[in-house]
Amino acid sequence: MSEEGSSDRGPDTRLLAPSAALIRLAEACGISATYTGWDGREHRCSSGAIRGALAAMGISPQDDAACQKEYDRLAAEEALRTLPPVVVVRERQPIEVPVHAPKGLSPVATLRLESGEVLTPEAAQPSPSAPESGRRVLETSVLRLAPLPTGYHTLEVTLSGSPPTSCPLIVTPERLQAPGFDRRPWGVMAHLPSIRSAESWGIGDLADLRDLAILGSFAGADFVAVTPLCAAEPVPPLTPSPYLPTTRLFANPLYIRVEDIPETAYLNSTDRSLISWLAEAPRASCRTQRLLDRDSAWTAKKSALE
């Protein structure tokens, strides 16, 4: 019986150390079986914690045999994938990317750097990896790339008769250096929606943040820290918490100062008057309302932006 087995009077299996099969499956899914604690020491994750992370990914193996079966399935899918989902390397390091292709087909690779430059890497001679999918037998070629500049690049591979396949190739700095200070730095922490001014549309915006940063710099502050500015819902009701965004990929347009958009200078007098009219109510709320009304502010600002 594996260590994942249970007994009526045994310890809670959720707190048991994970088995080798569970650890192997977790690592194949990108889940670490250890973590570094506040004390600087490495700690082993419990079986229950790892199973919970796997369950969030839709994988719920019941025992070691199921773990091995799931691991084999993931390995087979990986072997049939033309390119990895993503490649992450450090700067100044040579790069090797495995490319799986049906036997007899030579992959043609194109590398598009973040700068816009296009490179054509050459693949090494394929070596049979022999995973079979129906009647296909795959071969693995290795793309060897010289060290690349830091950034988000795109690797694209084309096989004869098939649409191109691409994956992000991310080159990270070798080390992030903290800025040097000859004294202890200090700064200001603020919740951006609450930094309202006479020109705000009911909600503190990026122009208000700019002004706060300028005032802070006059006082000798080294930074201004704000709560997250990620995008909320595009229509009311807007989630009031900045920690529950709709997406973390985009900034919240609620924080745009409409008048600061350069194109407003080219509007005709009628449209500029409309923008001024839309701003009246939310600006008045800055003087009369203690509580923030995100929905009204966004409704007016969205109309102006459109």
At 27-51, the pLDDT tens digits run: 999 999 999 988 889 999 999 999 9
59 touches 28 (CB < 8 A): no
Residue 136, beta-bridge partner list: 133
Q: What is the pTM of this model?
A: 0.54
| Lookup: tokens for 150 | 């830091």
* Structure confidence at residue 127 (pLDDT): 57
Q: Which residues of the chain have pLDDT under 50?
A: 1-11, 13-14, 129-135
* Structure confidence at residue 72 (pLDDT): 92
H helix or E strand, kind and range, residue 136: strand 136-145
| Lookup: tokens for 265 | 């200078």
66-104 burial, b at 16+ Cβ within 10 Å, e below that, comes to: bbbebbeeeeeeebeebbbeebebeeeeebebbbbbbee
Q: Which amino acid is at 54?
A: L
| Lookup: tokens for 272 | 């500029």
The burial class, CB within 10 Å (0-12 / 13-18 / 19+), for 36 is exposed
279 touches 205 (CB < 8 A): no
* Structure confidence at residue 130 (pLDDT): 47
Measured distance CA(218)–CA(109) in Å, rounded? 52
Pairing label, strands 108-112, 42-44: unpaired
The burial class, CB within 10 Å (0-12 / 13-18 / 19+), for 240 is exposed
Give the 3-state secondary structure of residue 93.
coil
* Structure confidence at residue 204 (pLDDT): 96
> Which domains does the chain carry?
14-78 (no CATH), 81-172 (2.60.40.10), 187-305 (no CATH)
**Residue in 100, 103, 122 with CA at minimum distance from that of residue 111:** 122
* Structure confidence at residue 112 (pLDDT): 94
Q: Could you tell me which residues come within 8 angstroms of residue 169 by beta carbon, excluding any fewer than 6 positions away?
A: 86, 87, 89, 95, 97, 111, 148, 152, 153, 154, 155
* Structure confidence at residue 5 (pLDDT): 45
| HSE-up of residue 2 (Cα within 13 Å, Cβ side) | 17
Measured distance CA(44)–CA(24) in Å, rounded? 14
95 touches 50 (CB < 8 A): no
* Structure confidence at residue 1 (pLDDT): 42
